Structure 1
Amino acid sequence: MRQHVDQRHARVLELVRQRGRLRVADLADELGVSAVTLRRDVEALAAQGRVRRTHGSVLWPGGSAEEPPAAEGDGFVIGMIVPTTNFVFADIVRGAREAVEAQGGRLVLGMTGYLDTEDPVQAGRMLAGGADGLLVAPSWFDGVPVEGQEEWLLGCGAPVVLVERWAPAGNPAAGLDRVRTDRAQGAAMAMAHFAALGHRTVTAVVQEGPHAAQITAGYRVAVETLGLDAAPGSPLAFAPDRQGHARYDAPAAHLAEAVTRHGVTAALVHSDEDAIVLVPRLQARGIAVPGDLALIAYDDEVAGMADVPLTAVAPPKRSVGALAAGLLLQRLAEQGSGSRPSPRQHVDLLPELRVRASCGALAGETPG
């Protein structure tokens, strides 16, 4: 028979009073309720001053206030949900893990394969297993939630920090903490570098996906601010999930036409993996990089390993993970101490531009 919430609260108080300290996950199992439900009970009781909440545990108010959050055999656990551990996420996860482990905790990882329906499944599994909070890069195709995709985040019953994702003003998820790269600024840095080299007519090709809107916005604003000319149809958005050679037909054709018909001398390409594929395709069309087209890639995963080493915009991947983890640990510490939470934070980290050979020529010059 399902217990009334007051009965459940009374049972929680009884067990915690008897034992002094209990893991939230163990208490949920003993009461036969979900970890999310038990967390809500504990938060309600903690707000009344009837129990104390620490990392992963609940204490009777008379317990030691100095008890460490990572006691032997009972360290706190942070869940991290990402679409993949490839590309930028490998270093983001690494940075988060290092930050969590430095504080005596453990990072557990869940992957969704870019399936948005898998996000709440992974979260539920982690919370049921005792995770104290979540770092989440949801599988939102455009990087922002649509049609209620954020609802599970708001009802999961644990502190959440968004990683490399955001929600627009007015969306409930806009009230969550988040840490991301300012990808618009990265695109603007690329355009400013081109302008400094003397290029006046530019273009861009951008993968459709979570970062496309930011990169596109930065490109367009920078082109206008710097007084540059953009090729028609620029930036070109292309689908990264097309198979085989067809994936690169549209971006290769766009770049070639931009150079031969519209006088373009510089281009931004997202991502650097795609840029590496496109360079020989352009050479096959008689367009040399950087002789005819200066090129900057975006992401800097493998850009420096290209035959013509690619100048690239490099997001601060490890720092994104570390700062997101630090922010989540701050929320857990506030929760455990019962102190008033500090203001929510939206943290944007600036990328850097790593200059290599692919943009080494001024417009109209051939590098020696």
Structure 2
Amino acid sequence: MREPVDLRRQRILASVQARGTARVRDLAAELQVSVVTVRRDVEELTREGRLSRGHGVVRSTMPDRETAAPDPAPAGGDRVAVVVPVRHSYLTETLHGARTVLERAGVRMALHLAPQASGAERPLVERALSDGADGLLIAPRWRGRAHEEADHEWLAGIGVPTVLMERRPWRGSALHALDSVCSDHWYGAHLAVEHLVGLGHRRVVFATRHDSPTARSLRAAFTGIAGAHPLVERWAWALVAPEAGADGPYAADETAELPALMRKVGATAMVLHGDVDALMVVQRLAAEGVRVPEDCSVVAYDDVVAGLASPPLTAVSPPKAEVGHAAAELLLRRLSEAAPGSRQPGRRIELLPRLMVRGSTARPAEPLGE
């Protein structure tokens, strides 16, 4: 699936803002597109005044960089390693929030992008520690529980202050006491369901990805909330991309094409994770003559590019930048502790998402029949 131009340019912008500067060829490798494509995008973003460029280098024009951002701390000063998955537009806003806090404190941030492979974070963390990192902000990919378990022992014992971002270790695990900051995705699911029920929708289809901690949290939240809600008459959950069903045992309905599942359930509304998949589903609905929101209301989850859709999508917006901000502040607190051996109890901070109501939700028409 080719990535929309607007999304790619937003990812370029967020990546540069997170680092301050970036090389064009590094951006091309990160986004897995050609250097020519990135140069064309950078030229357009430069014309809009959102980036500036030099000889192969792109710079952020964000006010905090132009006015009060300090130069990186000298070699030997505090340095925080940040490890996140490559090609993850959701986390670029989180990175920017963390960078703002760290720069204000005069602490250098070293960004490491983990490839899409199990266990890819460990060698990056080990390299960062050997380079002298004093603390770690990390968002492991964790495609499943087995991958998470494989990281428990080494991540719990790396020996420097560590804060998980947008990851919630399961109870009783070796990482249960590790500091973490994340969005309350149950509350985000609650906002979506209550918005649709409040408009009069009684039959809803939920669809999430299959391969992320957020997707697993959302599936549990949606099914629990819908199953217990007195006004939800019928609901179903499915993979937002049916081809992903090859990676696990799923029932037929769980890998069904969403327009067909919507007709089977008689649904008048859908909640889709995440934005790009939601945009693609809306396009598929249009091709089958299903209008949004007249025939089907749609709520996206992530709110990275939902507002760029036609119609603009109502979306649950997790506090992405605020998560990075709070994670960096918590890490700085740990780094400043005078006696690391007697540190304070671990903290698990949850921030509440918001609902951004746009043009893709409305009161329902008659339910679609089979």
Q: TM-score, normalised by structure 2?
A: 0.72
Structure 1 residues 71 and 282 mapped into 2: Cα distance closer, same or farther (>3 Å)?
closer
Map of 1:329 onto structure 2: 332
Superposition deviation, residue 340 in structure 1: 3.5
Map of 2:302 onto structure 1: 299
In structure 1, give the amino acid aligned to 2:84.
V
Structure 1 residues 90 and 260 mapped into 2: Cα distance closer, same or farther (>3 Å)?
same
* Aligned with 2:182 (options 180, 195, 201): 180
Are 2:85 and 2:114, in contact at CA under 8 Å, matched by a contact in 1?
Answer: yes
Are 2:270 and 2:298, in contact at CA under 8 Å, matched by a contact in 1?
Answer: yes
1:127-276 equivalent positions in 2, closer than 5 A: 127-142=129-144, 145-209=147-211, 210-229=213-232, 231=234, 233-236=236-239, 238=241, 254-276=257-279
Superposition deviation, residue 232 in structure 1: 6.1
CA distance in 2, matches of 1:92, 1:143: 23
CA distance in 2, matches of 1:212, 1:83: 15
1:18-33 equivalent positions in 2, closer than 5 A: none
Query: Any unmatched runs of 5+ in structure 1?
Result: 1-69, 244-249
Map of 1:107 onto structure 2: 109
In structure 2, give the amino acid aligned to 1:325.
A
CA distance in 1, matches of 2:80, 2:129: 9
Query: Any unmatched runs of 5+ in structure 2?
Result: 1-71, 247-252
Are 1:144 and 1:165, in contact at CA under 8 Å, matched by a contact in 2?
Answer: no
Structure 1 residues 144 and 308 mapped into 2: Cα distance closer, same or farther (>3 Å)?
farther
CA distance in 1, matches of 2:339, 2:169: 29
CA distance in 2, matches of 1:144, 1:229: 34
1:285 matches 2:294: no
Superposition deviation, residue 129 in structure 1: 0.8
Structure 1 residues 92 and 343 mapped into 2: Cα distance closer, same or farther (>3 Å)?
same
Superposition deviation, residue 211 in structure 1: 1.4
CA distance in 1, matches of 2:243, 2:304: 16
Superposition deviation, residue 337 in structure 1: 5.0
Please provide the CA RMSD for this pair.
2.7
In structure 2, give the amino acid aligned to 1:178.
S
Percent of counterpart pairs with the same letter? 36
Q: TM-score, normalised by structure 1?
A: 0.72
Superposition deviation, residue 255 in structure 1: 2.8
CA distance in 2, matches of 1:289, 1:195: 17
**SS of structure 1 residue aligned to 2:176:** helix
Deviations 1:227-260 (A, max 9, x none): 24465642446467699xxxxxx98954323443
**SS of structure 2 residue aligned to 1:360:** coil
Are 1:303 and 1:312, in contact at CA under 8 Å, matched by a contact in 2?
Answer: yes
